[in-house]
Structure 1
């Protein structure tokens, strides 16, 4: 997946070309996809409902494959990008 601005002054676009479904950890596999750890475990460690959470082995698994992706609820430092209003984007699902 690629999500890139085509206008405006953005910090940058995002891109992930990893085969997440094909490499999905066994405990997260779902028919035709890969579940979010919060959906599977429903614990604060993975859902971060209390606001106190850190990266987990599973979030690090995804972050290693897609460094631009938001991999856990507090992953703002490396995965939050902003663009001004009116920016146009190009979205590619299979780069």
Structure 2
């Protein structure tokens, strides 16, 4: 069952070198603004926010009631679904990245979208900040 579009807060706790990995993903589209950050800046200074008007600015072909679809859901091609080994940004993923620079915009967007905090950090996810 497909629940697109959804804004996702993703995390993996106490991983490599006792670090937590966290991100906001727009790979499955966008439905609400979000902030994902440590509960206290003393624990870790990472602060990920995606608060742009993505729904209002969504390209017509990605528009859906209550959100902005990802291009894979709409077009179902290898280019947009990243089903090949060499997957890169597209004009649609750039639309998301230009508005939410710290969020995942396509599946291989690791270098600008995954953040680390020390294991044991407490977090907060804020919807519609």
Q: Same fold (TM over 0.5)?
A: yes
Tell me which residue corresponds to 1:58: 92
Tell me which residue corresponds to 1:69: 103
- Alignment check: 8 A CA contact 2:38 2:45 kept: no
Q: Which runs of 5+ in 1 are unaligned?
A: none
Tell me which residue corresponds to 1:80: 114
SS in 1 for 2:36: strand
SS in 2 for 1:82: strand
**CA deviation digits over 1:47-95, x for unaligned, max 9?**
1111211110011111000001100111100001123332211221122
Q: CA RMSD in A?
A: 1.6
Higher strand share: 2
State TM-score, norm by structure 1.
0.88
State TM-score, norm by structure 2.
0.67
Distance across 1 between alignment mates of 2:61 and 2:49: 25
Higher helix share: 1
Q: Which runs of 5+ in 2 are unaligned?
A: 1-33
Distance across 1 between alignment mates of 2:107 and 2:120: 27
Distance across 1 between alignment mates of 2:36 and 2:120: 15
- Alignment check: 8 A CA contact 2:62 2:74 kept: yes
Count of residues in Structure 1 that have an aligned counterpart in Structure 2: 95
SS in 2 for 1:27: helix
